[in-house]
Amino acid sequence: SQTIHQWPATLVQPVGSPLSLECTVEGTSNPNLYWYRQAAGRGLQLLFYSVGIGQISSEVPQNLSASRPQDRQFILSSKKLLLSDSGFYLCAWSPLGAGGGIVGKNIQYFGAGTRLSVL
Amino acid sequence: GQSLEQPSEVTAVEGAIVQINCTYQTSGFYGLSWYQQHDGGAPTFLSYNALDGLEETGRFSSFLSRSDSYGYLLLQELQMKDSASYFCAVVPGNTPLVFGKGTRLSVIA
C-alpha cells in the first residue's frame, strides 16, 4: 500500500532563517506531488506541484521554492522566512495520469502536515 | 479563472441530515470531489462525481449537476465525529485540483 511521510510535524523558526520541509512517498512510482499551505481556519492554497523529477510548477509567486530530486521525494524550501510564511504545510500525492501528467479523478492523498510558526 | 463557493459554517444536530452545497465556475471540468478535514489533521478523500446524479457511500452521498455547475455533500445520521471541515474540489482535467474554502460543520447534541 502507498504511504506518504512528511516531517517535521511542528517547527518554530525565527524570521530570516532558512526552511526545508521534506515529503516522501512509498509504494508507488511516478506520483504527482503537491505542496499546499493552509492558514488557520482557511482553505488550501496550492504552492507547487510536480509531475516528474525536476519538473516543478509554481502556482503562487512567493518566498518559497520546491525541488524534486528523486521520483518520490518533494522538498519545500525557503532561504529567508517571513512572518507571513507561518501556516500548516501539507504535502500530497496523486497517481500519474494514464497519458502522463494530471488527468482523471486526481484523488489526492495528504501527509500529516507540518505546522510552521515563524516568530 | 476558477472559483468555488460553499458556506463557511454549518451547524446540525446529532442524528440529523445536513447538506453542504458547492457551486463552481471553472475553465475546465472533469469532476467534483469532496474532502474531509478534522481539526489539526490532513484532508482525506470522501467522494467523486464525474456524471450527473447521486453517489452514495454509506452515510455520505454526493450529488452533481453539471448543467447547473452545482454539487452537494449529504451527510445522514450525523455523529459527533462528523464535526470537521468539508472541502469541495473541482477536477479541471489536466491541471491540479481547485479547492473551495471549506465548510466547517459542527455537530451538536
**Residue pLDDT tens, chain B, 109 long:** 778 999 999 999 999 999 999 999 988 888 999 999 999 999 999 999 999 999 999 999 999 999 999 999 999 999 999 999 999 999 887 778 889 999 999 999 9
To the nearest whole angstrom, how far is the Cα of A16 from the nearest Cα of chain B?
26
What 8-state DSSP symbol labels residue A63?
Answer: S
Task: Note whether B96 contacts A49, CB cutoff 8 Å.
Answer: yes
The pLDDT score that the predictor gives to residue A101 is: 64
Residues of B in contact with A101 (CB under 8 A): 94
- Residue in the block written with cell 490532513: B42
Distance separating alpha carbons of residues A103 and B22, to the nearest angstrom: 22
The pLDDT score that the predictor gives to residue A59 is: 86
CA distances from A60 to A45, A83, A89, B34, B76 (A): 9, 17, 14, 23, 38
CA distances from B1 to A44, A59, B4, B24, B102 (A): 17, 13, 10, 11, 19
Q: Which three cell numbers stand for residue A71?
A: 521520483
Best CA proximity match to B27, nearest among B88, B89, B92 = B92
The pLDDT score that the predictor gives to residue A98 is: 57
Name the β-bridge partners of B61.
Answer: B56, B74
Q: If you average pLDDT over every residue of chain A, what do you get?
A: 91
The pLDDT score that the predictor gives to residue B27 is: 81
The pLDDT score that the predictor gives to residue A64 is: 94
Helix (H, G, I), strand (E, B) or coil at B80: helix
The pLDDT score that the predictor gives to residue A119 is: 96
Residues of B in contact with A34 (CB under 8 A): 96
CB-nearest partner of A101 from B31, B50, B94:
B94
The pLDDT score that the predictor gives to residue B93 is: 73
Contact criterion met (CB below 8 Å) for B102 and A43 = yes
Distance separating alpha carbons of residues A108 and A93, to the nearest angstrom: 5
- Residue in the block written with cell 492523498: A109
CA B62 to chain centre: 7
End-to-end Cα distance, chain A: 38
pLDDT < 70 stretches in chain A: 61, 97-103
Q: Count Cβ atoms below 10 Å from residue A61 Cβ, excluding itself.
A: 6
